[in-house]
Amino acid sequence: MRSVLATALVGLSKDKDFAFLTGDLGFMALEPVRAAAGERFINAGVAEQNMISVAAGMARLGFRPWVYSIAPFLYARAFEQVRNDVCFHKLPVFLVGNGGGYAYGVMGATHHALQDYGALLGLPNLRVYVPAFAADVPVAAERIVRAGGPAYFRLGRDETPKNAVLPAYAPWRRLLAGRGPALVIVGPLAGGILAAAMDRPDQIRPALWVLSELPLLPDEIPPALLDDIQRSGHLVVVEEHVIEGGVGQALAHALLLCGAAPKRFSHRYALGYPSGFYGSQNYHRKECGLDPQSIIALIEKT
Amino acid sequence: MADPGNRVSTPDLRQEVAVKELHRRVRLRLLRMHYESGVGHLGGNLSALDLLLTLHHRVMRKDDLFILSKGHAAGALYVTLWSLGRLSEEDLLQFHRDHTRLVGHPQADAIPEILLATGSLGHGLGLSAGLGIGKRLRGEPGRIFCLMSDGEWNEGSTWESLIFLVHHRLVSVIPIIDLNGLQGFGTTAEVADLGCLADKLRGFGLEVREVDGHDPEAIRCALQVEELTRPFAVVARTIKGHGVSFMENRMEWHYLPMSAEQYAQAVAEAKRL
């Protein structure tokens, strides 16, 4: 996803208000952005707090800076700078956190982003974008610029299934119709689960939805999703994020407010490191029951 | 570059009297505002007031910007803006009360003069650096003055910003440090002794001028800078609670509001200053 974003940013860099700051990361990925943006590409060094403050100062003068680092170094390390300097002022500072969820795998817990959008969504004026597929990235990037407020862009590894025909990017999208449970997925996890579910018989195939923008507002829930939930009576939410502040909680809350609570609700989410052992992204997903086989088993057990 | 250092030029005597009178009038207004609102935090406001007034009345020009990194000196900033006619008497009456725009630390989008909200220490220099680099990229004129406390040099983010400032040769960003020697729960020497801060800054590559932070003419001279080739800072030696004998260099006046008797004494002393 990162290289796709780099290409999109090269296009966006033609705007005079474009600027890009990196916390000394992006080797073998961001060179084209550096070449295109010239002096508006700033390597701010290994100093994320200052980087966010600098971006806020630039945004106050009308720039629309993108700020890049490994996700936790933005949302956790520089949380107060995001809150005070960016969000309090509604400034167009676009945070790009690479490695949503367990994407950095065996690099270890310091590099994982398991509570990023939960932590950030408590802040005023900030919108979160979680592309599920590489093809989403340029469209979402343009939406971020158009929205013109504080944004957090959670990048992961592209897991688009071969030969998948994806509907155009939208905050809510149904990728598969089916008569099984309504399944709501956040982020690149959707790819593997889509591949596993698309050939299942219609009777048990989930109605597979992807959610890509947060906060989740009750009046933005598509009526077709409410129909899928109503019809099957079972809602399954899957996300590579801890339970606290995650989409499972937000969607359950929203459905209660709408008077549309499902009869049955299942939630699969990041459990942290339950065994005390570490491994690849897929290793951690499996431990949490987030792998496609576990999700299909959960759905078909119904 | 000519180095005026602490040189005091020969000011017109009438102007000296006028400056003194201005500072006295604004100091009294600051004391009254804090007294009427029952607000403490006077120590760091009184240490910063002469710097703020000199900067805003005699140094800053149309294109210059100001960031109050030591957000707890909001009161001194508000009375400075009042002295410039940018805040009214009615505005000051709302200080620290319910339904106010004049909060204890400068609030985002409260009044146009507050470009960026501050209050948590260690943000102002980075914000100023962003303004500086933004202006440079745009080819816009103007300097960014950033008034900082000495305590906020405990913050790691401040040093991150300093490294950035020097590396990018952001000569338009001018940190002014209110070196009053007292911080939240002790003297700076007791809490986290930095030794000579001016020397530390020089070690990072800045040109530093040290000045008496209660001498308006010396402050003005120290801030007369044009065509700098490397980043520059002013370290202003100040007295926490300046001008009120029972507050000077006393920890408790970082926090406490005044009683009626204390206010009367403070006014009597401030009038004589």
> pLDDT tens across A104-137, in order?
999 999 999 999 999 999 999 999 999 999 999 9
Mean of the per-residue pLDDT values of chain A: 97
pLDDT at A302: 59
> pLDDT tens across A23-76, in order?
999 999 999 999 999 999 999 999 999 999 999 999 999 999 999 999 999 999
What is this model's ipTM? 0.96
Mutate to test the interface with B, among A54, A84, A125 (most CBs of B within 10 A): A54
Q: Which fold has domain A2-155?
A: Rossmann fold (3.40.50)
Mutate to test the interface with A, among B162, B164, B173 (most CBs of A within 10 A): B164
pLDDT at B214: 98
Min distance A46 CA to chain B CA atoms (Å): 9
pLDDT at B1: 38
Task: Catalogue all structural domains in chain B, each as residue range(s) with its CATH number.
Answer: 13-272 (3.40.50.970)
Closest Cβ opposite residue A54 in set B109, B117, B164: B164
Q: Residue A91 is encoded by which pair of tokens?
A: 């400034």
Closest Cβ opposite residue A54 in set B115, B119, B130: B130
Ramachandran angles phi, psi of A172, nearest 5°: -120, 130
Ramachandran angles phi, psi of A138, nearest 5°: -65, -35
Strands A182-186 and A234-238: parallel
- pLDDT one digit per residue (tens) for chain B, 273 residues: 344 444 455 558 899 999 999 999 999 999 999 999 999 889 999 999 999 999 999 999 999 999 999 999 999 999 999 999 999 999 999 999 999 999 999 999 889 999 999 999 999 999 999 999 999 999 999 999 999 999 999 999 999 999 999 999 999 999 999 999 999 899 999 999 999 999 999 999 999 999 999 999 999 999 998 778 899 999 999 999 999 999 999 988 888 899 999 999 999 999 988
Q: What span, in angstroms and rounded, lies between the C-alpha atoms of B65 and B253?
A: 29
CATH 2.60.40.1250 fits A172-300, yes or no: no
Q: Do domains A2-155 and A172-300 have the same CATH topology?
A: yes
Residue A89 contacts B, CB cutoff 8 Å: yes
Residue A61 contacts B, CB cutoff 8 Å: yes
Domain layout of chain A by residue ranges: 2-155, 172-300
